[in-house]
Amino acid sequence: MAGKRTFTMIKPDGVANGHIGAILEKINGAGFTIKAMKYTRLSTEDAKSFYAIHKERPFYGELVEYMTSGPIVAAILEKDNAVEDFRTLIGATNPKEAAPGTIRALYAESIAANAVHGSDSDENAAIEGAFHFSGREIF
Ligand code: IDP
Ligand code: MG
């Protein structure tokens, strides 16, 4: 059975370009509710560890540098079928390939600076949420 929660970040480009409000409206408009949220900035250690799964990929260094370049918004979201439905809402990794109307099609700059993160499985949603929030910060 699919889980009810996913984890997202509005990435540094989404914040720097003034899209926090518009992205949160898309998220709420698609039926997600916010269970935890913070405005924060990743340290280099945070970003290396969060993206450790990608450490052999050629873009890992660029990704860590980019994700630490400015503030982000981290949030835990709830909805039936949360992980899959949120991936549909954000669109493909490369905004040039993202379906019209998706968050990345509307607001991303590039394949690296692609506006938002979305967990890719229920297991990773739980791990990523716990990376950013303690139990008493989650409602
Ligand atoms: P996802 O965010 O759609 O799940 P992943 O393949 O998990 O995509 O990659 C994680 C993040 O790494 C992407 O969101 C993007 O910011 C960055 N990234 C992915 N592929 C590339 C690339 O080819 N060049 C630069 N950055 C990339
Ligand atoms: Mg991914």
The pick from 56, 93, 96, 127 for probing ligand 1's pocket by mutation, whose C-beta has the most ligand atoms within 8 angstroms, reads 93
Distance CA 72, CA 41 (A): 6
The pLDDT assigned to 113 comes to 98
pLDDT digits (tens, 9 = 90+) for 16-44: 999 999 999 999 999 999 999 999 999 99
The number of angstroms, rounded, from the C-alpha of 104 to the middle of its chain's C-alpha atoms is 11
Q: Given CA atoms 18, 24, 26, 29 in this order, what sign does their dihedral have?
A: negative
Q: Cα dist. 120→19, 25, 71, 84, 136 in Å?
A: 23, 22, 22, 8, 24
pTM: 0.97
Closest-lying ligand 1 atom to the alpha carbon of residue 90: 3
Q: Is the pLDDT of residue 1 over 80?
A: no
Q: What is the mean pLDDT of the chain?
A: 97
State the distance from the centre of ligand 1 to the C-alpha of 51, rounded, in angstroms. Answer: 10
User: Is the pLDDT assigned to residue 108 strictly greater than 80?
Assistant: yes
Predicted confidence at residue 2, as pLDDT, reads 87
- What residues pair up with 61 in beta bridges, in sequence order? none
C-alpha 4 – ligand 2 centre gap (Å)? 18
| Alpha carbon of residue 92 to chain centroid | 13
> Do 134 and 36 form a contact (C-beta atoms < 8 A)?
no
Whether the CB-CB separation of 33 and 5 falls below 8 Å is answered with no
Task: Assign domain 5-132 to its CATH architecture.
Answer: 2-Layer Sandwich (3.30)
SS3 74: strand
Residue 2 alpha carbon to ligand 1 centre in Å = 24
Name which residue sits closest to atom 26 of ligand 1, judged by CA: 112
**Tens digits of per-residue pLDDT, 29-83?**
999 999 999 999 999 999 999 999 999 999 999 999 999 999 999 999 999 999 9
Closest CA to 25 of 39, 47, 10, 4: 10
